[in-house]
Chain A
Amino acid sequence: MVRIREFEERVKRIFIEHPGVIRGHTHLADGAEAAIVGSLATRNENDPVVPTYRCHGYPLVLGTSARSMMAEIYGRRDGLCKGFGGSMHLSDPAHHFPGPSGIIGQGIAQATGMAMAAQLRNTGDVTYCYFGDGATKQGVFFESVNIAAVWKLPIVFFLENNEYQAYTHVSQEDANSVAGDPLSQKAQAFSIPGVTVDGTDLLQVYDAAGKAVDRARQGAGPSLIEMKFYRFSAHGNAITVPPMSTQFGEHEAIEIHCNPAEYEAARSRDPIPKLKSVLLKRGLITEGAAIQIEDAARAEMEDAVQFALASPFPAPEDATNYIYA
């Protein structure tokens, strides 16, 4: 969790330290650490993971090197995707992370297909499918979950409810939210289990994910888990036109909805200090060890930045590679 936070904060600082270096659109997962780590902690070694394009957190857990991720964000040859993808398209199939779609919700169907392949081959793998609250208003969500339920596919649908789809609050666009119901209610439409958990509480996420994954692995079909947390950064860097360099603005709650109180309240429910205090209370960690973890993460991500800066850009003519297999 500390590594994810440090990676994201380091990426955010690049926008200030090296303006114009990060191109396109970058989305940060600070605030989602407990949801990502708590769910992935239940995973078997070969289980595929399909993320959203807010995709920096998961591969750090799966074993992808921070160096290659950072080099990709810098558009360098040693990047995870050799400079072809950038922040939105981090892809590492060697770690069962085939990579996200940049188009909202489209990965849900692809994840369902991976679950179908696992069922067909009887591998015992369970697909971890992540998507945001906004993506549940895509037709592909309903189409895919229905098929997964009909075929009893080994997949768990992890709904990351961070309260905002880009700049729009969930209460402005979700029927369940408007009615005061949890978004996990959508599971009822497909007659599959649906639960809502506090996504800032690693242990709650872990317990719920464990049950759903066991169920899927036993052949009983999919579940929907709504993990509620709050995204601490803006949706993405501000969309600017060159030569204006990209930058991160304030969170939408502050910048658009004029609701800094909501943002501050969410920050007080930060998943990292929350877990730390639990571990300290139970004597599972000392203050000294916690500081060591933070220092190690800082050193790792700084090393990743230096690695990225030292890596050459791809040759221009490399652009014609990889069009066909």
Chain B
Amino acid sequence: MPQEMIYAQAMAEAIAEEMQRDEKVILLGQNLGLTERDPLVQKFGKNRVRVTPISETAELGIAIGAAISGLRPIVELYMSEFMLVGFGQVLNEAPRLRYMSGGQVKVPVVFKAGYGFAAGWAGQHANCLYHTMMGIPGLKVALPSTPVDAKGLLKAAIRDDNPVVFLYHFMLMLDKGDVPEGDHVVPFGRADVKRPGKDLTIVATGWMVPKSLTAAERLAKDGIDAEVIDPRTLAPLDIDTIVSSIKKTGRLVLVDQAPRHSSAAAIIAGEIAERAFQYLKAPLRMVTALDTSVPYSAPMEKFVLPDEEKIIEAAKSVLRKQAVGV
């Protein structure tokens, strides 16, 4: 029987189940496992659940070292920006070691962090940094949009023999959904069609997935049938599913919370330009954040970020327009 649970609970279950399944899985990070009453400490002990000082460079590097030595560490970073403090470990150590050693070294580590906190967290705590990560060969990037994917992708991340950045979205933490009981694993590199449709394709990640689904329901009232696709992992990136969808719909809107020039949308647009240009009946549209930092005050924050209205406007404009010279 599937069980209804919130996104945060789904991740907690994935960690507890994987720690139960494999004693090589350990958890480290700040402000966790603080007391003997902590459920993970009770179950797995303070050896495997380690609180760290505020030392991101060391936390990340220690996890890499432990992974090289045969453990499967998860580092809880809380905010993806905190990863930036030790970003050399994430971008230039973990993903390079296997390659530089000619395949001799294996780094099965998970860097887990929240992102995109669009609730007044302002310039330094509300960012979407995956663009920088998805372009680093050797690094995998997962970003679930539902409880079921949160559990399944986190389990896959922990079992993966490569460094994985697992990004959870703060605005989705309390979202509810059915999660199958038992060993539910979502393989990397497989996009999920969250809503089938025939008139246009919307590709969205993270918090933008529920926003796109709401927009699709509103478009349906106007007789527009949108397909919504969530890539679920950005590296590897399942372009095939998007291309297949475009073959059917001929129209594409890419929705991404990141600023336009550091968005996954821009990368996907490039792939589509090369692989599916001939199927597009109109130029694609990118609905992204503006190229600004995230402001504190609510009206400005709303102005900067994508929302349902902006998605609907883009969808309608793509349906109105025809490709030039076709």
Find chain B residues with CB under 8 A from A86 CB.
120, 122, 296-297
Chain B CB within 10 A, most for which of A22, A84, A104, A165: A84
Find chain A residues with CB under 8 A from B111 CB.
none
Nearest Cβ distance between residue B107 and chain A, in whole angstroms? 21
**Complex Cα gap A75–B294 (Å):** 13
**Complex Cα gap A241–B304 (Å):** 19
Q: Is the interface of B mostly helix, strand, loop or mixed?
A: loop
Q: List CB contacts (< 8 Å) of B271-309 with chain A.
A: 290-293, 295-304
Pair A84/B54 contact, Cβ less than 8 Å: no
Closest to A321 in B: B292
Find chain A residues with CB under 8 A from B85 CB.
103, 106, 138-140
Other-chain residue from A104, A106, A319 in contact with B290 (beta carbon distance below 8 A): A319
Pair B53/A134 contact, Cβ less than 8 Å: yes
Chain B, 54-78, contact with A by CB distance < 8 Å: what is the 0/1 string?
1111100000000000000000000
B31 contacts the other chain (CB 8 A)? yes
Other-chain residue from B30, B31, B171, B296 in contact with A23 (beta carbon distance below 8 A): B296
Chain B CB within 10 A, most for which of A88, A140, A258, A315: A88
Find chain A residues with CB under 8 A from B122 CB.
24, 84-86, 88-89, 102
Chain B CB within 10 A, most for which of A85, A174, A258, A319: A319
Find chain B residues with CB under 8 A from A24 CB.
117, 119-122, 125, 296
Find chain A residues with CB under 8 A from B121 CB.
23-25
Chain A CB within 10 A, most for which of B55, B82, B304: B55
Given A25-B125, A102-B124, the answer on whether A316 and B302 have CB atoms closer than 8 Å is yes
A168 contacts the other chain (CB 8 A)? yes
Find chain A residues with CB under 8 A from B53 CB.
134, 137, 165, 168, 173-174
Chain A CB within 10 A, most for which of B53, B292, B293: B53
Nearest Cβ distance between residue A243 and chain B, in whole angstroms? 10
Closest to B54 in A: A134
Closest to A244 in B: B174
Chain A, 128-144, contact with B by CB distance < 8 Å: what is the 0/1 string?
00000011011110000
A contacts with B, residue count (CB < 8 A)? 50
Nearest Cβ distance between residue B206 and chain A, in whole angstroms? 14
B123 contacts the other chain (CB 8 A)? yes
B34 contacts the other chain (CB 8 A)? yes
**Complex Cα gap A103–B52 (Å):** 17
B contacts with A, residue count (CB < 8 A)? 43
A124 contacts the other chain (CB 8 A)? no
Find chain A residues with CB under 8 A from B34 CB.
167-169, 172, 256-257
A313 contacts the other chain (CB 8 A)? yes
Q: List CB contacts (< 8 Å) of A103-119 with chain B.
A: 103-106
Find chain B residues with CB under 8 A from A138 CB.
54-56, 85
Chain A, 49-80, contact with B by CB distance < 8 Å: what is the 0/1 string?
00000000000000000000000100110010
Chain A CB within 10 A, most for which of B81, B297, B299: B297
Pair B300/A323 contact, Cβ less than 8 Å: no
**Complex Cα gap A165–B34 (Å):** 12
Other-chain residue from A166, A313, A317, A323 in contact with B291 (beta carbon distance below 8 A): A323
**Complex Cα gap A320–B289 (Å):** 11
Find chain B residues with CB under 8 A from A313 CB.
297-299
Closest to A175 in B: B53
Nearest Cβ distance between residue B16 and chain A, in whole angstroms? 20
**Complex Cα gap A172–B85 (Å):** 22
Nearest Cβ distance between residue B57 and chain A, in whole angstroms? 5
Other-chain residue from A81, A257, A319 in contact with B304 (beta carbon distance below 8 A): A319
Nearest Cβ distance between residue A72 and chain B, in whole angstroms? 8
A233 contacts the other chain (CB 8 A)? no
Closest to A79 in B: B297
Other-chain residue from A25, A75, A140, A242 in contact with B297 (beta carbon distance below 8 A): A75
Nearest Cβ distance between residue B313 and chain A, in whole angstroms? 16
Q: List CB contacts (< 8 Å) of A239-278 with chain B.
A: 241-242, 244, 256-258
A314 contacts the other chain (CB 8 A)? yes
Q: List 19 A-B contacts (CB under 8 A).
A: A24-B120, A25-B121, A72-B296, A76-B297, A83-B295, A84-B300, A85-B123, A102-B124, A104-B54, A138-B56, A139-B57, A172-B51, A173-B51, A242-B119, A314-B300, A317-B303, A319-B304, A323-B291, A323-B293
Q: A24-B121, A258-B37, A316-B302 are in contact. List 9 more A-B contacts (CB 8 A).
A: A23-B121, A85-B122, A86-B297, A89-B123, A89-B124, A167-B31, A168-B30, A316-B303, A317-B303
A residues contacting B by CB (< 8 A) are 22-25, 72, 75-76, 79, 81, 83-86, 88-89, 101-106, 134-135, 137-140, 165-169, 172-174, 241-242, 244, 256-258, 313-320, 323
A-B CB proximity, top 10 nearest: A23-B120, A83-B297, A86-B296, A316-B303, A137-B53, A75-B297, A24-B120, A319-B300, A173-B53, A102-B124
